[in-house]
Amino acid sequence: TLRTEERQRLARERREEREKQQAAKETQILEKERKAKLQYEKQVEERQRKLKEMKQKEEQRRAAVEEKRKQKIEEEKERYEAVMHRTLERNQRLETRQKRWSWGGSVTPDSESKTALLSTASKRSTSTANLKQAEAAVNKRLSSSAALLNSSDRTRRSQLSPLDSSVISRLLAPTQASLARSKSAATLSAD
């Protein structure tokens, strides 16, 4: 009986030891799972934070690009308006010059215009001969430069392709038009 009791006690102690070990293992497993879960949650939070930061950076970059684009458009608009303003001023100056040529005198207020007209009338009578000589010289220059342009234009065009020659003729058209304008201006001033 003593041996059986001793055996039962030893068996009970072994069983209790096994249960303790099993409980310790389960506790370790639970602790590991808890730590793994915390680690995973931290990683998820870190990812979300990084994604949020990336989104903010992307939005800031887009806003900066949009701001640059708007600024560029504004600068181009200002440049275009400045060019238009300069063109209008140039056209107005040309119109006043043409008016001066056609009126035979400068554009002045009424009190000065009479004296200016009288002085120009007296100057006209003396300088009519000079104007005719100047007109002849201008006509000669215009005809020679037009002939030069046409001859050099023909030699160049023979070497160029049809597309290039059409582009060049288009580019030369304003030059010939300006020559015609200056010729008509000379004849107007002579008249």
What are the pLDDT digits (tens) for 130-155?
Answer: 555 655 665 665 565 555 555 555 55
Cα 182 to Cα 1, 70, 128, 154, 190, distances in angstroms: 143, 44, 18, 24, 12
Which pLDDT score is estimated for 34? 95
Give the per-residue pLDDT at 113: 47
Report if residue 164 sits inside a domain. no
Residue 157 resides in a domain = no
Domain extent for 28: 1-70
> pLDDT tens across 28-73, in order?
999 999 999 999 999 999 999 999 999 999 999 999 999 999 999 9
Position 41 in a domain = yes
Q: What is the pLDDT of residue 69?
A: 96
pLDDT in tens, 87-143: 999 998 888 877 776 555 444 444 444 454 545 544 444 445 555 565 566 566 556
Is 60 exceeded by the pLDDT of residue 3?
A: yes
For residue 4, being part of any structural domain is answered with yes
In a domain, 54, yes or no: yes
Could you identify the residue written with the tokens 């560029």? Answer: 72
Give the pLDDT score at 114.
46
Q: Is 20 helix (H, G, I), strand (E, B) or coil?
A: helix
Residue 80 located in a structural domain: no
> Cα(71)–Cα(60) distance, rounded to whole angstroms?
16
Number of domains in the chain: 1
Report, as an integer, the average pLDDT of 69-82.
95
Classify residue 18: in a domain, yes or no. Answer: yes
